[in-house]
């Protein structure tokens, strides 16, 4: 499970940085043929990791505050396209239909006691 957190962290670090300096990455599941920047690919991969097959993943709770911060920055830049993508991503994260972690089988915590859930092996 810690590897999943590390992967999510890697994508968040890219997204929290400057768009033009995003390192080269690849699309995990690429069905469209539209060319994308490395920043856009990092966002797509973050979303793919967090809502894969509409299953709940514990890293979702860790990623949402960073997504909110990203949306604040996009709003300051008046980049409504990215703001709307962030809103859609947050809604998709929270709309997952299975609130049991597919990796460990634990029920997902709501908001209290999360630290024990993430730190337990």
Cα 94–chain centre separation: 11
The model's pTM: 0.71
The per-residue pLDDT for range 9-57, each reduced to its tens digit, is: 888 999 999 888 888 887 766 667 778 889 999 998 888 888 766 666 6
Residues 64, 62: Cα–Cα separation, whole Å:
6
What are the tokens at 59? 């890293």
Residue 97: what pLDDT?
56
pLDDT at 8: 84
């Amino acid at each position: 499970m810690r590897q999943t957190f590390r992967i999510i962290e890697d994508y968040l670090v890219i997204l929290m940085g400057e768009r033009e300096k995003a390192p080269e990455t690849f699309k995990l599941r690429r069905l469209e043929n539209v060319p994308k920047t490395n920043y856009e690919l990092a966002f797509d991969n973050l979303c793919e990791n967090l809502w894969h097959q509409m299953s709940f993943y514990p890293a979702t709770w860790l990623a949402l505050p960073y997504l909110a911060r990203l949306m604040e920055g996009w709003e300051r830049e008046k980049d409504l396209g990215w703001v709307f993508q962030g809103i859609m991503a947050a809604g998709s994260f929270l709309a997952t239909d299975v609130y049991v972690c597919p990796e460990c089988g634990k029920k997902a915590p709501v908001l209290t006691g999360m630290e024990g859930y993430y730190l337990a092996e």
